[in-house]
Structure 1
Amino acid sequence: MTTRLYRNAAVFTGDAEGPGCEAFAVRDGRILAVGELDPVRSAAGPEAEEIDLGGAFVAPGIIEGHAHLAMLGEALDKVPLRDCTTVAEVQQRLAEARRADPEATRLLGVSWRFDIFADGERPTAALLDAAVPDVPVLLDANDLHSVWANTAALRAMGIDRDTPDPVGGEIVRDEHGDATGFLLETAAIAYAWGYLARTASDEDRDRFFDNAFRAYLATGVTGATDMSTNDTDIAALRRRIDRDGRLPFPVRGHWLLTATGDPEADLAQIDRVAALRDELAGLPGAEWLGIVGVKFILDGTIDACTAAMREPYANGALPDPIWTRERAVPVAVAADAAGLQLALHAIGDEASTIALDAVEACLRRNGPRANRRPRIEHLEYVADDTIARMAALGVTASMQPVHCDPAVLDNWQAVLGDERALGGFPWHEFRARGVALALGTDAPTAPHEAPPNLFIAITARSALDRAREPYQPQRVFTPAAALAALTAGTARAAGMEAEYGRIAAGYRANLFALDANPLSDDPDRLLEARVLLTLVDGAEAYRYAP
């Protein structure tokens, strides 16, 4: 049994109030001891292999609090568009990608931003046809809640005048009833994502997960809560477990529910998810992959004016939620009764109100339950009464600092158009009320790298454009509190806190080493920082190679 002692490090154990340490020892995949060098060396014994970390900063491995693993892996194969500032730049990048791969049968892109369009303009197929007319082009928006498609893609998806809008979504049409090339919310899921799922092979899906695991390990992530788990994802992850006996790091899945409009069909989803959870729990490798809950997408996004708000947007729109209160509550109660954790996507203040009504219904109808731990995802704009209710109900706020990078907020603020534009992402209010916080990235809706996410959390500045002024800097976390919310906080939200999220004796030896110290260095160092080493169960899962 090999014991390794790691020394000459600045060790953050995961406790925002705890002391720093300089060494830790690992044996049999777990932390043996952590603290000052001499007592750790004594615990490790004279035969321990000693490793000098050269003064690196060490923290518990990040548990990605809100992940879309397969989608991130697929996005890493797509044409990146987040940095495009005009439609012309998007067109140019797509044309270049087409010329670089003339044999491709379709062209996929990701992360275009709404602020590339002038006021009143929207994505159209004609704009994409001007760049790439001959093969299907499908471009995911930065928020991953809408898709921009060219004419060839509309044909490939089978969308015509008679194609119905799904519950909670819209095929945007012109005055003649023809699809314009813009799919909103569940229309993007049903038609664009459905088309891609039907045409992807098992080899493609395996590659997507390979991409995602590799990318996350390189940024210090050693666990993830996946928020869009489905049949094909489970099959791909099980193939990997059957092959390797494990995953690169543990994954806890929330099954993505579909609002069908049929109460019986909605409820039937819960029975199926509960049965799958139990099946996976009985298979070899269950510690690496498990279903823990369900995810409701209650509303859309503010950028697309599809988030459910109490008051209208600047353009007068006041959209309905994707899951109405009447539809959501019975399904939430059934999921809770089955022991499934609720994850409720709620970006607008009306959606978060519906989410808390569902949680209250679970408490009222099902009574007390250990480790219920409901969570609301995103919470971009919330009312004060929502924060107070979350504190009273013990609901976790699952938020993503990279979603409020000032460089991506122009359209977000413009479509709100009033004082709400200055009241978003109120981290400080959640902290003040004692609401548990779990921080993630929601990749690929935002960059997946950990250091920029941490940078925004502690500065409210932009990781994409350093010239930008910070957005509401009174919101910021201390570095230690942000790190705790990225590690111990996300582990607790996923029910993993007994073994993950801390560097402490008996815990899994999942951690990463960084060449910048967030606790003491200028925060700007994080934008250039490199993860030097990532350990999973004490084994080297990533090492930086200059």
Structure 2
Amino acid sequence: MKKKLLSLALLFAPVLACAQSTVISNVNGYTLKENRLLKFAAIEFQDDKVTRLYQSGDKLPDIKNKQSKHIDGQGKTLLPGLIDAHGHVLGYGLSLLRADLTNSASELEAAKRVFNYGQKNKDLTWLQGRGWNQVRWPGKNFPSAASLDKYFPDQPVWLRRIDGHAGWANSKAMQLAGITQETVSPRGGEIIRDSRGNASGIFIDNAMALIESKIPPLTIAEQKAILVKGMNALAAVGLTSVHDAGISAANLKAYQALSREQKMPIRVNAMLDITDKQWRKVLRQGPLRSEDDFLKMDSVKVVADGALGSRGAALVEDYSDHAGHKGLLLFSDKKLLEVMKTAMDAGFQVNTHAIGDNANKLVLDNYQQLLNTSDKRALRHRVEHAQVLRLADIPRFKQLGIIASMQATHATSDKNMAQDRLGKDRIAGAYAWQKLLQTGATLAAGSDFPIESPNPFYGLHASVTRQDHHNLPQGGWFADEKMTRLQAFKSFSVDAAYAGHQEQLLGSLTPGKKADFILIDRDIFTVKAEEIWQTQVVSTWVNGKQVYQK
């Protein structure tokens, strides 16, 4: 019997060894090798891994060879799959299903958009949406419940601001939440009130939970469907991996179910949200990694402060356009240190949202204190956003081994209000990509979708031009902070992979790494910089399989 089994094994061994490989030739390929651009003309992969890159002039496998499948790349540019180091997949999927208030020109237009959405979705109990930004409206004032009440006197409405750090409710929503003149703003949050002391309809940061706790939660089945919708849309813009910045325990269960069912089109590196009631229980179960590397969860997301646009970012000194106001810290100093230490002690990477200079200083201080008394530096802790920094704090990222996880499109979106908020002196440490890079810090790029578009070519464009899509301002906003094309590409590829402890798998196309790549319609290294954002994805491949075709 043993001899028979041995002979069968020998019979099948050549078949296994000669599994079919795929060669995509006639491409304008780029990858990074030892921090330099490497060009290639064809790529070969077998199953889920890259096996070889062919330079121009190299002999390709015989097209008649049945062990090799050939695809003509038609001269398109081929890049490693791009990685978004900070986004929100469930939120993005939901944004595709809810009222879109992005770029609304006024409070009235935003309210009308919600009305039109409601007319098409009459089966919904709550009407929800996202994307309003009062800074773009005449007067730049926060909206009020009254403008929604005209359209929705009896149906609750809840609309998140574009940055996700403020919400706009109508009177019915506030009634269901029990909001009165006596309702106290929670720590780390604010209920905006009118001159008579009534809630205006705007809830900042932790105060948003007063409304959102009354909205029925999504089922696991609903979350799965929304996640798949979001991931497919992300694949279509050239993302093959994303870091999901703050998921709940229920959200994790939905991902795990999709992973088991092999229904994840792209890779997700998830951060557990420490505001979830079950976060300590989940940490005790230890880091998670699927066998096929489509799902990974070995980090936590902590939020130290709010956002600049809603004046929730915690600043050392007063806001330049709001005397007496310094923003919001969402935890006490003691509590923030405690949750960071708990996650580190459990062996998890700690990724802390900090936008204001005070929040960034406090978070760096905490990292320094914890790293001085532990051996947790190798976990590669991160500051998410690192948006407004004191100049003295910039070198600390490299010194402490802290990764700056930043979003280039925030700068081009915020340029119309950031200096108003910060003044001419503090702005020198804001969106300071080049200052950080020059110290040797690692900068991992993302978009913070759905706050910004997930399109990584928007981020690459913003990184190298510091301009919007109208080429404004001329020469770039604080142009000294522009990245080179190589720096920007690295931030969306190998450095984003490094930020997720995945640089041995992802981020570049070298033999042995995953066959995650994209074909695009132009050469982003040679086109005019102002055209980079117009790049279109032709196809997206993950694990050696095509998951999107234009």
One fold, TM greater than 0.5?
A: yes
SS of 2:370 mapped into structure 1: helix
Q: Answer yes or no: is 1:255 the counterpart of 2:272.
A: yes
Name the counterpart of 1:402: 409
Q: State how far apart, in whole Å, the 1-side matches of 2:128 and 2:95 are.
A: 9
SS of 2:379 mapped into structure 1: coil
What is the identity percentage for the equivalent residue pairs of Structure 1 and Structure 2?
24
**1:5/1:44 contact within 8 Å kept:** no
**2:249/2:279 contact within 8 Å kept:** no
Q: Answer yes or no: is 1:184 the counterpart of 2:184.
A: no
Aligned residue among 275, 281, 288 for 1:272:
281
Q: Answer yes or no: is 1:19 the counterpart of 2:27.
A: no
Aligned residue among 228, 239, 260 for 1:221:
239
Name the counterpart of 1:414: 420
> Residue 358 of structure 1 aligns to which amino acid in structure 2?
N
Q: Give CA-to-partner distance per residue, 1:307-358, whole Å, 9 cap, x none.
A: 1111110211113411233221232122212111010111011111111111
> Residue 235 of structure 2 aligns to which amino acid in structure 1?
L
CA distance 1:420–1:85, change in 2 (3 Å): farther
Name the counterpart of 1:93: 113
Q: CA deviation at 1:122?
A: 2.2
**1:137/1:150 contact within 8 Å kept:** yes
With 346-355 and 286-295 compared, the bigger mean Cα shift is at 286-295
Q: State how far apart, in whole Å, the 2-side matches of 1:24 and 1:63 are.
A: 20
> Residue 255 of structure 2 aligns to which amino acid in structure 1?
L
Q: CA deviation at 1:443?
A: 0.4
**2:106/2:138 contact within 8 Å kept:** no
CA distance 1:332–1:102, change in 2 (3 Å): closer
Aligned pairs for 1:491-510 (under 5 A) are: 491-510=497-516
Aligned residue among 378, 383, 387 for 2:390:
383
Name the counterpart of 1:127: 147
**1:106/1:137 contact within 8 Å kept:** yes
**1:298/1:324 contact within 8 Å kept:** no
Name the counterpart of 1:515: 521
Q: State how far apart, in whole Å, the 2-side matches of 1:342 and 1:428 are.
A: 24
**2:144/2:201 contact within 8 Å kept:** yes
Q: Answer yes or no: is 1:329 the counterpart of 2:312.
A: no
CA distance 1:256–1:43, change in 2 (3 Å): farther
Q: Answer yes or no: is 1:65 the counterpart of 2:85.
A: yes
Name the counterpart of 1:262: none
Name the counterpart of 1:474: 480
SS of 1:527 mapped into structure 2: helix
TM-score (norm 2): 0.90
Aligned residue among 237, 241, 266 for 2:255:
237
Q: State how far apart, in whole Å, the 2-side matches of 1:495 and 1:503 are.
A: 17
Name the counterpart of 1:525: 531
Q: Give CA-to-partner distance per residue, 1:468-489, whole Å, 9 cap, x none.
A: 4431122111222211110111
Q: CA deviation at 1:162?
A: 4.8
Name the counterpart of 2:6: none
Q: State how far apart, in whole Å, the 2-side matches of 1:120 and 1:2 are.
A: 60
The aligned length equals: 527
**1:10/1:55 contact within 8 Å kept:** yes
Name the counterpart of 1:427: 433
Q: State how far apart, in whole Å, the 1-side matches of 2:336 and 2:121 are.
A: 45
Mind listing any 5+ residue stretches in structure 1 that lack a counterpart?
A: 260-264
> Residue 428 of structure 1 aligns to which amino acid in structure 2?
Q
Q: State how far apart, in whole Å, the 2-side matches of 1:169 and 1:473 are.
A: 35
Q: Answer yes or no: is 1:201 the counterpart of 2:201.
A: no
CA distance 1:318–1:525, change in 2 (3 Å): closer
SS of 1:228 mapped into structure 2: strand
Q: CA deviation at 1:114?
A: 2.6
Q: Give CA-to-partner distance per residue, 1:47-94, whole Å, 9 cap, x none.
A: 422211122111111121001110111011122222112222212322
SS of 1:376 mapped into structure 2: strand
**1:202/1:236 contact within 8 Å kept:** yes
CA distance 1:232–1:192, change in 2 (3 Å): farther
TM-score (norm 1): 0.91
Q: State how far apart, in whole Å, the 1-side matches of 2:178 and 2:521 are.
A: 51
Q: CA deviation at 1:467?
A: 5.0
Q: State how far apart, in whole Å, the 1-side matches of 2:521 and 2:242 are.
A: 23
SS of 2:441 mapped into structure 1: coil
Q: Give CA-to-partner distance per residue, 1:258-291, whole Å, 9 cap, x none.
A: 39xxxxx9xxx6642322435x45xx65733232
The structure having more radius of gyration, on CA atoms, is 2
Q: State how far apart, in whole Å, the 2-side matches of 1:343 and 1:53 are.
A: 39
Aligned residue among 160, 167, 179 for 1:159:
179
SS of 2:454 mapped into structure 1: coil
Name the counterpart of 1:393: 400
Q: State how far apart, in whole Å, the 2-side matches of 1:181 and 1:320 are.
A: 19
Q: State how far apart, in whole Å, the 1-side matches of 2:59 and 2:303 are.
A: 47
